[in-house]
Structure 1
Amino acid sequence: MSASPRLPALDADGPIARRFLIGAVQKAYLAFREGRLEMSPAAWLRLLRLHYQELTAQPAALSALPSPTPVLPAIPPPTSGDRSIDQIVLDEWLGSGGRLQFPESAHPLVSVLVVLHNRADLTLRCLRALRTTMLPLEIVVVDNHSTDDTPRLLDRLDGVVVVKNATNVGFLAAVNEGATHARGELLLLLNSDAEVLPGGLEAAAATLASSETIGAVVGKLVHMDGRLQEAGSIVWQDGSCQGYGRGDDPLDPAYMFRRPVDFGSGAFLLTRRLTFLAAGRFDDRFRPAYYEDADYCLRLWQSGRQVIYEPRAVVLHVESASSASSSDVVERLARHRKLFAAKHSAWLRSHAKPPGSNPLQARSRISGGRRLLFVEDCVPHEKLGAGYPRSRAMIQAALELGHQVTLYPRVEPSERWEEAYSDVPRDVELMLGHGHPGLSGFLTDRLSFYDALIVSRPHNMREVGRVLSALAPASRPAVLYDAEALFTLREVGRRRLAGLVTPTEEVSRVVSEETSLARGCDVILTVSLAEAARFAEAGFSNVEILGNSVVPNPTGRSFEARSGLLFAGSLVDDAGPNVDSVVWFVRQVLPLLREKLGPDLRLTVAGRHASPRLAALVGPSVVALGLVDDLRPHYDSHRIFVAPTRFGAGIPLKVHHAAAAGLPVVCTSLVQEQLHWQRDDDLLVADEAAQFAEQCCRLYRQPELWMHVRNSALRRVGRDCAPDRFRAILGRALEAACERDRPNARYDATRGVGP
C-alpha cells in the first residue's frame, strides 16, 4: 500500500503544469506505440503520480531549467510511422541544427561515464536529463562503434569528452577505458537508456560523501511504465541475483528508505573514482558484460566499504535496450554466474539460499543488529512535543546501536514523504499509509521478520496486544512497552483541580487497568522513578527507566538583550495539562506580572494547538505562534521559560529543551518533583499565583540569579539527559527483552513480567 499524496490542482499557466501535461502525453504516446499501454485505472494513477512527483521533487532545479530552445524541441503530434516518441524527438532535434551544451568545469565533482552502442534516441534523453543537475559535472561518453544516428548526435555535443572505439568492445571494457579519461572526484556509471530524475544525482552524491565507509551508492530503477525494476539487489548463496521489489509500486514504503544492500545495477552506480581505479576497475573476466557490477560491489564489501541504496536517486530505465539477443544474454548470465559464485564462494556462504528464501530477510546487508518495529501515533516530529521528541531519540539511538528500524504510525499515517523524513533519518522504513486498518495484516505478514516490537502509548499497546493475541506464529518477537508516563494519573490530577475527589480505590483500579497493558510484554520502559514504582507496585519487575536525550546547546544572546516569557508544548487537548497551565498562567499570573514589569510584557506560546480556551485568550499580551519548526530563535530572544503545570505525569521534556538552550525556568513543584532538580539552583519554583509571579519577577530582574540558574540547569541537563546514557539504557533493555525466555510463541496478555 502506498502513501503517495493525491495529485493537487495545478496552476494551468505554471511551468510545472505545462511540463506535467507535456510529459504525460509523451509517456502515454510512447507506451501506446510500444504496446505497453495498460487499461487499468490503478496503473494510470500510478504513472501520473510518479510523473508528478518527479516534477515537484526539485522545484529549484525546475526553475533553473533553460527556456525552450532548439535543444529541446516541441513534441510533434503522432505520425503514422512506427517511430517511438524518443526517435521523433531525436529526428526533430537533429533536423533543427541545435546543439546540446554542458558547462565545462576545471574541477568536476562527478564524472558521468556513459557507454553507447546505437539507440541514439535514448542517449539523447539520457544526456538531456543530466542538464538539470546543479553539480559540477564532466560527461565522458564511450561509443562502441554505433551504426545508427549516434555519430551525428556526438557531433552536436559541446563540453563532452567523447571516446570512439573502432569496434564494439562491450560494456565492461568501455567502462574501464572511459574511467581512465575521467577527472572527477566521483564516478557515475550510467546506462545510455537511463534517465536520472531531478535531484537524484545530488542525493546520491550527498550520501556517498556522508561517510568514508561508503564505497558506492546505487539508485531506484523504475521501468518506463511506472513499475519498479529494483531498489537495490540481493545476491543469493548460489550467486544468483534478484532485484528487490521488481514489478512493485516504486512509492511503496518498502522502497522509500536508505539501506545497505549487496549491490545495485551498473545502470546507475556512483563510486569514488580513485576507489574504482584502485580496485582494478571491472574484472575483465566478466567481459563483455553481466555480473561485473555485482562483483565490484562485493569487492567493496570485502574491503570494508558499504554499498548503499539511495531511494531519492530515481532513474527511469528502459533496461537492456541495447543488449544482445535474449539467447546470448541467458548464456552469458549462466556462464558469469558460475564464475562469480566460484570467485566469491567463501563470502557467499553466509547469504540466504534460494528458492524459498524471503527477499525481505535479505534486502538489507546489516550484520549483528536486530530488526525493530516501532509503533507510534504518528511520525515523531520534534516540533509536536507530547513525547514525540523522545520517540524520535529512541529511533536515532536504535540506529546508532546498529539495528534496522521500521516505524509504523498507527493513528496519523498520512504525510508527504519529504515532510515525514524531515525529522526522521532516511535509514528508517516509514510505513506511511497503512494506519490502524492495516495493522493486523502488516503484523501477520511481518511478525516473524522482527526481533522486537517497541510500542508507545497505552492505546497503541492495547491494539497491538489485541492483534498479537490473535496470532499463533512459530515464534514471536520480543515486546517492549514504552509506557512513558501513566496517562490515568493525569486524569486523576485534572479531576482534583476541578474539585472532584477520586476515591483511593478508584485510583488504584484505573492505574491497575493501565499497568495491565504490560502483561505479556518482556520489558517496560518508563521515564521516571515515580512511574517505575507504580509498575513495581503492580507486580512488574522488568522495568527500565529511560528518560530524555538532550544535548546542552545554549543560545548566545545576553540577559539584557532578551525580553518576554515563553511557553512551548502541545496544546491540542482542551482538557490536557498544557492548556490548563497556560490558561491558569494567563488569567492568574500574567496580570500580576504586567503590573510589576510593565504593560508591554508578553507571553509567547508555541506549539500545535486547536484549543478554543487558548484561542479566547490570545491578544496584545498573549501571542500564539502555533506549530514552530525551530524553537531556537525563541529560546534566544526570550528571558524566561514558564512551566506552570498543575497536573500531569512523566518528565517534562519542554523544560529539558528550554534549559538545554540556556533559558532559565520557573515552574510548579509538580514539575520540580518530576525532574528531581534543586529549587533556586536549577530552577525557581512556586504553586500559588502570587508566588509564581514573584519568582518570575526575581528571575526577570536579576541578571546574577538568571545566570546562576541558567548554568546550573545546563549542568543538570548534561548529567540527566546524556545521549550516550540514553542509548546504553535502550540497548540494555533491547538485549534483555530479546534474550528473555518465551516458552510459548503466542502473545499472552495475562502473563505478567516476572523475575
Structure 2
Amino acid sequence: MSTDAAFTEADLKLFEANDEKPVTTVPPVGDRSRIDLISGHDIEQSQIVSRIGQIPFLSINSLPDWTVPKGTTLMLRLDGARAGDRFELTLGRKRILQACPDALVFRALLAAHRMSANITIELRDAAGSIVQSSEGYITPDHPGGRDVSLHKPLLATFARAVDAATLTVSVEIDHADETSVVPPYLFISNPQLHPATQSEGPAPYVLGASQAGTQEFMAKLNPYVVGASSVVVKDQVITLPERPRGAFSDPSFSGRSLHVNATEDGVYTLYVDGAYVSDAHLGIGRGSVPLPEFLLDGGIHHVAIRDRHGLFVLYETYEAFPAVMTSYDIICRETRSPLPYRLAQQASHRYTSLGRAVAKISDKGEAEQLAHAHDVVTKGFDFLTRRDYRPLAFKIYTAPQVSIVIPAHNKFNITYSCLCALLLAANEATFEVVVVDDGSSDETARLGELVSGITVIHNEMPQRFIRACNEGVAAARGEYVVLLNNDTEPTAGWLDELIEPFRRFDDVGLTGSKLVYPDGRLQDAGGIVWRSGNPWNYGRGANPFEPRFSYTRQADYLSGAAMMVRKSVWDEIGGLSSYLEPMYFEDTDVAFKVRAAGYKTMFAPLSLVYHYEGRTSGTEITSGMKRYQEVNRPKFKQRWASAYRSAGEEGQNVDIEKDRGIVGRVAFIDYATPRPDRDAGSYAALEEIKLVQSLGFKVTFVPDNVAYLGHYTDELSRQGVETIHAPFAISVADFLEKRAAEFDVFYITRYQIAAKYIDMIRRLAPRAKILFMNADLHFLRELRSAIETRDDARLADVARIRDDELAVMRKADLTLSYNDVEHSVIMSHALNAVKVVRAPWVVRASETIAPLAGRQGFSFLGSYGHPPNVQAVEWFTEAVLPIVLSQRPSEVFHIYGSAMGANIRALEGDNVTAHGFAEDLADVYDRHRVFIAPLRSGAGIKGKVLGALARGVPCVLSPVAAEGTGLRSGYDCLIAEDPSMWADHIVSLLTKDDLWMKLSTNGRDFVKESFSVQRGQQTMRKAFQAADIYFTL
C-alpha cells in the first residue's frame, strides 16, 4: 500500500482530552495511523501567532477554484505582507504526537500567489521549545488549485521525538508583491502526519480513548474481536464498528480487472487467497478493481473485497485467471509446433487420459514403467508406501550428453519420486543418473538393487552436500553435469532448455532452471547478489509466467537445486569449494568462480523444475544443516567482496539490477511477434534484435497486439528477449505508462506503429532515443502499386500516407532504411529535417549447397498477406509462364509462402504447384533450379532474394526486386525487364549448367561479403552512433 495515498477528513479523528468532563464511552475513532492535521475544519484564527507583521486571515476551502479535490485546503490571506514578515501556525492543538510511536513524516501540498516564503516545519514540546525542524521554500511557480500537479509537495521526516507535543508551521516571507491590489495568498493542502514506516496491509482500525490531561491512547483493533460490540481501552468502553452497508453485485472478470456494481462509494480492500493485496477505490455503480499480476498463472484463486480495514468480507469468489489471453485456436493457427498444449481447455483431461492410456498398454516394458512413474509423481512422495517402490530401469548410453548428479541422505521416498519424475520428463538430450548415497540408513542404501541403469555411490559416513556433489561429478561421463536436489520434480524438456544457452551464446559456463513451488508460485528466477554480499532469490513468491521472469539472461548465481555446468568448466574451476563445507553458499560461490574463469552464468527460463524446498535440509536457519547458511555467509562475502562491490543496494531497483552484462536497454515495438519462417519482415526484425543484443543491450519486445504466439514468443525468450504479452500488459500504452522511463532506446518498426506511440514515448521517456525502422517506404510502395494497377483512388491516398510517414521520421531521432533509393526519396521530401542511415540486413550463407543434380523447376516465396507478392505471382503466371512453357512444356512453377488465399490456389494446374507455408526453407531453395522474384511494386530490400542467393540458388529478378541490394545482372544474378527477357533468363538457367554454377558461386560470395553478421553489426553500431548512442560493446 502506497504511503502517498490521499486521505479525506473522515479518515482519522483523534479525540481530545476534556479536563472537566471525562469521556466514559466513545465511538471508534478513525481507521488509519495517519493524522489529518486539519480534519473537521477545526483550525481557529487564534492558532496563528504573528512574530513580525500582521496576522494572516485564515479560512478553509473557502475558494472552490483553489481547493484540492476531495481534500482540505488551508488558505492564508496575507494583507499588507512585506518581506521579512514572520508568523507561526500551530496544527494539531492539544494532540499528542506519541500517537505515532515511530519516526514521523509530515506531508503537505503548498501553493503561493504573489509571494515567496521560507517554510519551517517544527516539532515542539509542551513548553513550546523546538525539538526538531525541517525547512522548505515556496514560490508563485506553484499556484495550486484543483490540479494537484501545480502544488509543491512538502515532505519532512523526523526522528522519534518522545517530548514532541505539537507541530508548528513557521512562515518567513522572502518576497511579497506590494503593488497588486489583491493580497498574497499561501495555501497549505492536506497536511498529514504518519509513522515513517508503514507496513503493507489494510488500514488499521485505530481506537482512541481520552483521559484527564492532554494524553491520548491508541490501540489497533484485532479483527478477531469483531463479533463483540465494544472493547475497553484504558478503562474506557469503545464501541466497535458495525458491518459496512456496502454491497456488490453482478461481478465479472476481464483481463486484469474485476468489474462489479457497488452500492456505496468508498475505499475497500482487495484480498487474494486470504492475503491483503491493495486498496480498491470504488464509486456507486459499475467500477473496476485492478488485479495483481501474480494471479495470472492459470490457477484457481480466492478473491475477496473487504471493507477498508479488512474486517468484513463484502464479496468473494473463486476464479481461474489465465496466464495467456491469446485464444488457443489463434495460437494453433498463427504459430507452429510445438504447441503450448497446456493452454487448451481440455489439457487437464488429456493429462488424465494420457496416464490411463499408458497404464493400459499391454507391453510390460517401458510404457508400464512410464505409467508407474506418472502415478508416483501425481500421488506425491509424502503418500508413498512400500508397495509403490517398484523396480525402475533407466536407459544406458555409452556417451550420454548429460550427467545428472543427485546427492541423497535418507528420505528414500523423496529420492524415488525424483527418479520417477526424471523418467516422466521427456528430453531430446541423453543422460545418465549418478546418485550419491551419503551415509543413508533407510532404503536409500539399497537403491542400486531397485533401480537399474544408474550409478550409485555409497558413502559409509555422511560427507554432506559439497563433498557428495564433488564425488558424484567425479564419476560423471557427460559433456554437461547437472546438480539436482532430490526434492525436485523436473518437467518435460528441462534438460534441453538448460543446454540451450550453451548453444546460443558464447562462453557460457553454467545455466540454471526456473524453480517453482508446488503451489505454482515462483521460487527462483536467477539470483542477485547485492553490494552487501547477500544473495536474493529473484522473483520469490511471484507469478512464474510474468515476462520479467521468462527470458534468458545472465544472473549472479543459479540455485544448486537444478543447475548445469559444462564438465570441462567444472574441472577447470575445481568444482564446489571446500571452504564452504559442509553446505550452503556453494551454488553462489561456484557461479562467481565460473565468471572469474571467463564464462557466463545464465538463467534458462523454459527449464522448469518444481522444488519442494526444505524437505532435505529443513527451513530453520538456527539448527540442523540449515544453520550453515549463516555460518558460511561471512566466508562467502570475504572471498568475493571485490566481485560484488559494484552491485546495487540491497532490495533497491530489483527489476533493473537483475540484468547483468548489459550496457543499456532497448524496447522494440512492432505490430506482432516475429515469425521468421513466415515473412521476410519477421526475419529482419529477429536479426536486428540479435544485432542490438550483440552491442550489449538488453532487449524488450512489445508487439502491438500483445499476443502470446507460442513457439515464436518462446524463441524470443530463449534468445534473451523479454517479450511482453497479455494479460501482463493489456496494451502497448499500458506497458509504456508503467515502464517507458527505464529504456535508453526505442526501436519502432513500421510507420503506423510509430505514429501511434511516438508522442507518448516522448512524454514518458524524454531522454530516450527513438530509432524508426522504416522497413520499406510505405508511400513509395503504394505509389508504385497504384501506378501498376492504374488505381486512381489509391493514387490519391498516397499523398496522405507520405505526409504521415514523413511526420513520424521528423519526430524520430533517426530513421533506418535498407534501400539507398529510398534514402534519396526521403531526403528529397524531408531535406535536412530527417536523419536517415542504412539499416543492416544479415544473411547467414550456408557453407555447402545442395547439388545441381536432382533440382527441378523454379520457385517463388512470399507472404500473400503482402499485396506486391500477390501481384507478382499473378502477373508472372499470366505474362511469363506461357512463354517459358512454349519452350519447356514440362517445367513446373512452385509457389511457396504463408497466408495463401484462394486466388493463388486457383492458379494451380499441371505446370503450377501452390505448396503453401514452407516448414523447411530447404524445400524452397534446395529442390529447385531457379528462384524468381517478379515483383512489380514494393519497396525496401527483398529478404527472399538474399536468402536464395545465400543457399546458392541463381535468381532472376525484376528491377524492383533487385533494388537496394547492389546485385549486378549477369554476374551475381539476372535482371529481367519484360516478359520475353524473363523467359529467356529462366530457360538459360534451366538448361545451361555453366551459367548456373557461375551465378550460384558469385551470388553466394556476394551475400557472404555484403550481408554477413560482422558487416551487420558494424552497420548497426554506426546507426546507434548516428543517434548519439555511443555506450555499446
TM-score (norm 2): 0.60
* Map of 2:744 onto structure 1: 451
Of 331-340 and 386-395, the range deviating more from structure 2: 331-340
The match for 2:604 among 291, 310, 315 is 310
1:643-658 paired onto structure 2 within 5 Å: 643-658=933-948
1:290 matched to 2:584: yes
CA distance in 2, matches of 1:274, 1:711: 40
* Map of 2:420 onto structure 1: 128
Q: Deviations over 1:518-544 (max 9, x none)?
A: 233222100111221233230335321
1:380-399 paired onto structure 2 within 5 Å: 380-399=674-693
CA distance in 2, matches of 1:106, 1:712: 45
The match for 2:913 among 623, 627, 638 is 623
Of 444-453 and 220-229, the range deviating more from structure 2: 444-453
The match for 1:578 among 862, 866, 869 is 869
* Map of 1:366 onto structure 2: 661
Q: Which one-letter code corresponds to 2:422 in the other structure?
A: L
* Map of 2:885 onto structure 1: 594
Q: Is the CA contact 2:518–2:611 (under 8 Å) kept in the aligned structure 1?
A: yes
* Map of 2:1019 onto structure 1: 729
1:460 counterpart SS class? helix
The match for 1:322 among 579, 598, 616 is 616
TM superposition shift of 1:237: 1.0
1:11-26 paired onto structure 2 within 5 Å: none
Q: Which one-letter code corresponds to 2:319 in the other structure?
A: P
2:701 counterpart SS class? strand
TM-aligned CA distance change 1:324 to 1:251, over 3 Å: closer
CA distance in 1, matches of 2:863, 2:953: 19
1:373 counterpart SS class? strand
1:378 counterpart SS class? coil
Q: Deviations over 1:468-498 (max 9, x none)?
A: 24x434x542211001221112221222123
TM-aligned CA distance change 1:531 to 1:140, over 3 Å: same
Of 396-405 and 302-311, the range deviating more from structure 2: 396-405
TM-aligned CA distance change 1:55 to 1:364, over 3 Å: farther
Of 532-541 and 323-332, the range deviating more from structure 2: 323-332
Q: Which one-letter code corresponds to 2:870 in the other structure?
A: V
The match for 1:403 among 668, 687, 697 is 697
Q: Deviations over 1:61-93 (max 9, x none)?
A: x99992225993895999xxxxx8423334322
* Map of 1:516 onto structure 2: 807
Q: Which one-letter code corresponds to 1:72 in the other structure?
A: H
TM-aligned CA distance change 1:706 to 1:283, over 3 Å: closer
TM-aligned CA distance change 1:147 to 1:674, over 3 Å: closer
Of 301-310 and 114-123, the range deviating more from structure 2: 114-123
Structure 2: state its 5+ residue gaps: 1-253, 256-298, 300-315, 325-339
TM-aligned CA distance change 1:50 to 1:99, over 3 Å: farther
TM-aligned CA distance change 1:54 to 1:545, over 3 Å: farther
* Map of 1:491 onto structure 2: 782
* Map of 1:17 onto structure 2: none
2:953 counterpart SS class? coil
2:603 counterpart SS class? strand
The match for 1:67 among 360, 363, 367 is 367
* Map of 1:746 onto structure 2: none
Of 576-585 and 704-713, the range deviating more from structure 2: 704-713
* Map of 1:217 onto structure 2: 511
* Map of 2:273 onto structure 1: none
1:384 counterpart SS class? coil
TM superposition shift of 1:583: 0.9
1:99 matched to 2:391: yes
1:167-178 paired onto structure 2 within 5 Å: 168-178=462-472
Q: Which one-letter code corresponds to 2:719 in the other structure?
A: R
TM superposition shift of 1:568: 1.1
Q: Deviations over 1:496-525 (max 9, x none)?
A: 123245899975554232111123322210
CA distance in 2, matches of 1:48, 1:380: 21
The match for 2:896 among 599, 606, 618 is 606
Q: Which one-letter code corresponds to 2:406 in the other structure?
A: V
CA distance in 1, matches of 2:349, 2:467: 33
TM superposition shift of 1:730: 0.5
TM-aligned CA distance change 1:689 to 1:173, over 3 Å: closer
Q: Deviations over 1:618-657 (max 9, x none)?
A: 2222211111122233323323322222222122222222
CA distance in 1, matches of 2:419, 2:925: 49
TM-aligned CA distance change 1:72 to 1:499, over 3 Å: closer
Q: Is the CA contact 1:554–1:660 (under 8 Å) kept in the aligned structure 2?
A: no
The match for 1:234 among 528, 532, 537 is 528
CA distance in 2, matches of 1:112, 1:275: 16
CA distance in 1, matches of 2:377, 2:1000: 71
Q: Is the CA contact 1:377–1:409 (under 8 Å) kept in the aligned structure 2?
A: yes
CA distance in 2, matches of 1:392, 1:224: 35
* Map of 1:351 onto structure 2: 647
Q: Is the CA contact 1:528–1:547 (under 8 Å) kept in the aligned structure 2?
A: no
Q: Is the CA contact 1:457–1:482 (under 8 Å) kept in the aligned structure 2?
A: yes
CA distance in 2, matches of 1:73, 1:92: 13
TM superposition shift of 1:301: 1.3
TM-aligned CA distance change 1:689 to 1:283, over 3 Å: closer
CA distance in 1, matches of 2:559, 2:349: 21
Of 497-506 and 614-623, the range deviating more from structure 2: 497-506
* Map of 1:341 onto structure 2: 637
* Map of 2:319 onto structure 1: 41
Of 723-732 and 161-170, the range deviating more from structure 2: 161-170
1:427 matched to 2:727: no
TM superposition shift of 1:233: 0.9
Q: Is the CA contact 1:375–1:455 (under 8 Å) kept in the aligned structure 2?
A: yes
Q: Is the CA contact 1:451–1:738 (under 8 Å) kept in the aligned structure 2?
A: no
Q: Is the CA contact 2:931–2:955 (under 8 Å) kept in the aligned structure 1?
A: yes
CA distance in 2, matches of 1:458, 1:688: 33
CA distance in 1, matches of 2:716, 2:883: 39
Q: Which one-letter code corresponds to 1:731 in the other structure?
A: R
The match for 1:530 among 821, 827, 830 is 821
Q: CA RMSD in A?
A: 3.9
Q: Is the CA contact 1:555–1:635 (under 8 Å) kept in the aligned structure 2?
A: no
Q: Which one-letter code corresponds to 1:376 in the other structure?
A: D
CA distance in 1, matches of 2:548, 2:484: 24
Q: Is the CA contact 1:492–1:502 (under 8 Å) kept in the aligned structure 2?
A: no
TM-aligned CA distance change 1:740 to 1:728, over 3 Å: closer
TM-aligned CA distance change 1:268 to 1:39, over 3 Å: farther
TM superposition shift of 1:606: 0.8
Of 263-272 and 660-669, the range deviating more from structure 2: 660-669
CA distance in 1, matches of 2:603, 2:716: 20
TM-aligned CA distance change 1:50 to 1:277, over 3 Å: farther
Of 383-392 and 147-156, the range deviating more from structure 2: 147-156
CA distance in 2, matches of 1:77, 1:182: 26
TM superposition shift of 1:439: 0.9
CA distance in 2, matches of 1:437, 1:76: 40
1:72 counterpart SS class? helix
Structure 1: state its 5+ residue gaps: 4-27, 29-37, 79-83, 742-755
TM superposition shift of 1:183: 5.2
Q: Is the CA contact 2:606–2:718 (under 8 Å) kept in the aligned structure 1?
A: no
Decide which structure has greater helix share.
1
CA distance in 2, matches of 1:618, 1:423: 36
**Structure of higher RCO (CA pairs closer than 8 Å, 6+ residues apart):** 1
1:655-734 paired onto structure 2 within 5 Å: 655-734=945-1024
Q: Is the CA contact 1:684–1:695 (under 8 Å) kept in the aligned structure 2?
A: yes
Pick the structure with greater CA Rg. 2
1:620 counterpart SS class? coil
Q: Is the CA contact 2:406–2:486 (under 8 Å) kept in the aligned structure 1?
A: yes
Q: Is the CA contact 2:374–2:421 (under 8 Å) kept in the aligned structure 1?
A: no
Of 438-447 and 330-339, the range deviating more from structure 2: 330-339
Q: Is the CA contact 1:526–1:545 (under 8 Å) kept in the aligned structure 2?
A: yes
Q: Which one-letter code corresponds to 2:469 in the other structure?
A: V
2:545 counterpart SS class? coil
1:519 counterpart SS class? helix
1:544 counterpart SS class? strand
